[in-house]
Amino acid sequence: MVRKIISRGVVYLLFFSLLLVISCSEGGEKPPVGDPPQLLASDPADGQTDVAEGITVITLRFDQNVTLASSPQATLNGQLITDLRPGLKGELKMVVSPLLLATGYTLLIPAHTVKGPTGLFNASDIRISFKTRTPVPPREGLSPRAENLLQFLKQQAGKVILSGSMANVAWNTSEAEWVHYHTGKWPALNCFDYIHLQSSPANWIDYGNISVVETWWNNGGVVSAMWHWNVPANSGEQGAYSFYWGSKPEQTLFDVKKIDDPASEEYKRMTADIDKLSGYLKMLKDRGIPVLWRPLHEAAGNIGVYPGGTAWFWWGAGGAEPFKKLWRLMFDRMTHYHGLDNLIWVWTSQVIDSDWYPGDDYVDVVGRDNYNESDAATVKNEYVLLRERYPDKPVALSECGNVANISDQWSAGARWLWFMPWYDYARTGNPQSEAFLLKTHQHASIVWWENALAQPYVLTRDELPDFK
């Protein structure tokens, strides 16, 4: 009897012990719930090959706020990083020695170094490799100041955008003065136009008087120049000139295809005009002024845009091949015959005109003229296409009017090298007029300019380095 009671007690004891174990496991502390931090992005990015030299902070971004182990072990090229700073929004900043030019780097962070916000859940090993930029080899034959300017443009491409203004018709800075009057800031760049070459010198236009250009340069501004190249309305005709092409009396039938015939009147006229203009450009060279030189712009016009599309300037009326021959003739004659080593050559693309490209040896910068496009995404698509097509050339918004705000373009990914709204003759033709006081504009109002100049990546004249 006693044995049965004892046996029954043992069974009961075992049963209640099991219940206790079950109840403790169900009602006790549960294991922590969560996920380890996941790396979302880094700056510099893994695999990036154009990182700027001099950077002292590497930033990692995780999917949650992070903490660090008591003795974090992070290295850059084997050197221990001692300054690690977790922040808000999942950021981890690491202060390092300034990155060196043309150097490969590897960041290593072992597992158990980066933890979740509670100190639990260790991140996996992190390995990020990148390279700083390799200096762009100088274009052979450029003057030191032109080389300084070109290298600056190449190095800053995608990081900053230069603000620009266009001379009102030809030989002035009145648009820049208008921007300064209303905003207190000067555009970084001013573009001049040799549109009246056939008339200069005259009492109303004399490109030999370079004081306005020299003043702009001496005040720290970048000089750009273009050429609405007027030719006789008909081959050999004097008096009536035009840069357009067509059948109307005020337009020209000047035949650019005669570029293949050095004995033709057209060829002689083209070389004579190039020589005359080279004399004026040499005056700028002699004063040590580099020039962003943008001739023969918008050559393709609407060719390829729609069936029957045509060029609107005579230099594109003969198609791609005569145009490229004319461009190369001008380049060779100005560069080698006249010794103009102060010119940085800017070719203007119509986006659909890849077969019109003169070639890498004849182009330093690719430009795009864009008007009446308020959709920043569309503008961005043009920028991306040109950057992909010409990867070794910076790309500029060489002319614009009534386009999306620069802030919207930049956010969308259109990181132009510079922008330049076209002039408004009625507003800025006479700085002494009442119209000059208006903030409205045919192409870029003061509201548009204020948006642009408020962006930290938009450079004004006073923010440029000394290219001398």
Quick one: which of 101, 124, 104, 133 has its CA closest to 36?
124
CB 315 within 8 A of CB 296: yes
Pick the catalytic residue: 214, 382, 399, 434? 399
Q: What pairs with residue 313 in β-bridges?
A: 244
- Taking each helix axis from N to C terminus, what angle separates 174-183 and 446-453, rounded to the nearest 10 degrees? 70
Quick one: which of 384, 461, 371, 375 has its CA closest to 416?
384
β-pair type (67-68, 114-115): antiparallel
Quick one: which of 211, 198, 221, 231 has its CA closest to 171?
211
Rounded to whole angstroms, how far apart are CA atoms 43 and 249? 60
Cα Dmax for the chain: 140
Q: What b/e sequence results for 107-144 when a residue is b if at least 16 CB atoms lie within 10 Å of its CB, and e otherwise?
A: bbbbeebbbbeeeebbbeebebebbbbeeeeebeebbe
**Encoding tokens for residue 351?**
């986006």
**Encoding tokens for residue 306?**
């729609």
The DSSP-derived string for 332-400 is HIIIIIS--TTEEEEEEE-SS-GGG---GGG-SEEEEEEES---HHHHHHHHHHHHHHSTTS-EEEEEE
**Encoding tokens for residue 400?**
């614009």
Give how far Cα 277 sits from Cα of 255, 263, 269, 351, 448, Å: 20, 21, 12, 28, 35
Pick the catalytic residue: 29, 298, 434, 450? 298
Quick one: which of 359, 348, 362 has its CA closest to 418?
348
Give the Cβ contact number of residue 263 at 10 Å.
7
Kindly tell me the sign of the dihedral angle through the C-alpha atoms of 176, 181, 182, 188.
positive
CB 130 within 8 A of CB 51: yes
Sheet (strand 91-95) strand order: 39-43, 57-62, 91-95, 83-86
Catalytic (active site) residue 399: yes
Q: What b/e sequence results for 191-204 when a residue is b if at least 16 CB atoms lie within 10 Å of its CB, and e otherwise?
A: bbbbbbbbebeeee
Catalytic (active site) residue 298: yes
Rounded to whole angstroms, how far apart are CA atoms 377 and 312? 27
CB 296 within 8 A of CB 304: no
**Encoding tokens for residue 364?**
């330093």
Quick one: which of 283, 258, 278 has its CA closest to 268?
258
Q: Residues with catalytic annotation? A: 298, 399
